[in-house]
Amino acid sequence: PRLYIITPTYRRPEQIAELTRMAQTLMHVQNLHWLVIEDAENKTQLVSDLLQRTGISHDHLVAPMPELFKKKKGAKPRGVSNRNRGLEWLRANAKSGVFYFADDDNTYDIQLFEEIRTTKRVSMWPVGLCTKFGLSSPVVVNGTFVGFYDGWVAGRKFPVDMAGFAVSVEFLLQRPKAIMPYKPGFEEDGFLKSLTPFEPNEIELKAKNCTEVLVWHTQTKKNEASAALDLAKYNSTNLMILKK
Ligand code: UGA
Ligand code: MN
């Protein structure tokens, strides 16, 4: 089966660094199509150039966060417009395969993608470095799903991280109303609930019955360099000038 990787990204000093790391992971994976979707009005040239150079089969799309949410104070629905654009693309262009919402800043073991590939409906696995518990995972006893382990349950039916599940394209296509809500903290839960009919006890367990960590919710620390220079605004010629 073909893998569709839906990656939200946005313009910031770390963007090219994150996407370079992620691209060079995905370059090791066969039969994959990468949907890189920018939260922006226009595509960033450096991102287009990077994608081109990797040779990875891809589409570079844009899906700006609606103004209504951008202006709001506090937590924002990050990456939601992008992921919904990805779902829209799948509905228009894909017939089979498996998709995965993969943020641009996480760390992926290439073995994860082979685990994901065999998803029949919805699969799940542990995500490392996630929440105050250090791990978010389905709990498995004697090979059977019994519940979720997550540092922030908050009444969610599916207390899981975005990096912790994959869905079959056919399963999605049978659910024309499935969508991700603009609800900070409840994006995963809202999306998985929109896949109704689907219950937690139906999840397919990956990563050796959820005993292996193959993806980490890493986050890049902002440093002085990122504050000083918006690299995304410079091409290599400009950087040469800056060095003088
Ligand atoms: C956590 C979850 O793992 C995300 O899946 C979820 O979208 C996010 O919280 C949230 O709801 O706020 P976290 O590491 O805190 O992730 O968030 P980011 O990595 O900053 O953002 C998630 C994704 O959205 C990234 O791929 C990022 O590039 C993208 N993003 C972020 C945008 O497209 N626009 C933004 O303004 C911010
Ligand atoms: Mn992140």
**Structural domain boundaries, residue 144:** 3-243
Contact 136, 150 (CB under 8 A): yes
Catalytic residue list? 188
What is the rounded radius of gyration, in angstroms, for the C-alpha atoms of the chain? 18
Q: Is 126's C-beta closer than 6 angstroms to any atom of ligand 1?
A: no
Cα of 134 vs centre of ligand 1, distance in Å, is: 18
Length of the chain: 244
Ligand 1 site-directed mutation target among 16, 103, 192, 221, most atoms within 8 Å of CB: 103
pTM: 0.94
ipTM of the complex: 0.94
| Adjacent-strand bridge partners of 59 | 35
CB half-sphere exposure, 24, CA atoms < 13 A = 5
Give the pLDDT confidence of 118-128 residue by residue, as tens digits: 999 999 999 99
Cα(242) to centroid(ligand 2), Å:
30
Q: Ligand 2 centre from 244 Cα, in Å?
A: 35
| Contacts by 72-78, CB closer than 8 A, 24 or more apart | 74/184, 75/184, 75/185, 76/184, 77/181, 77/182, 77/183, 77/184, 77/187, 78/8, 78/39, 78/184
Cα distance between residue 198 and residue 160, in whole Å? 15
Which residues are in the CB-under-5-Å shell of ion ligand 2?
Answer: 103, 105
Give the mean pLDDT of 233-243: 53
Give just the sign of the alpha carbon dihedral 159, 162, 167, 169. Answer: positive
184 lines ligand 1 (CB under 6 A): yes
**Using a 6 Å cutoff on CB, does residue 115 contact ligand 1?**
no
Q: How much distance in Å is there from the Cα of 220 to the middle of ligand 2?
A: 8
Total count of domains within the chain:
1
**Ligand 1 atom closest to the CA of 188, numbered from 1:** 5
Strand partners, 100: 5, 166
CATH number at residue 94: 3.90.550.10
Tens of pLDDT along 89-103? 999 999 999 999 999
pLDDT at 60: 98
Distance CA 26, CA 141 (A): 32
Residue with tokens 């979707």: 37
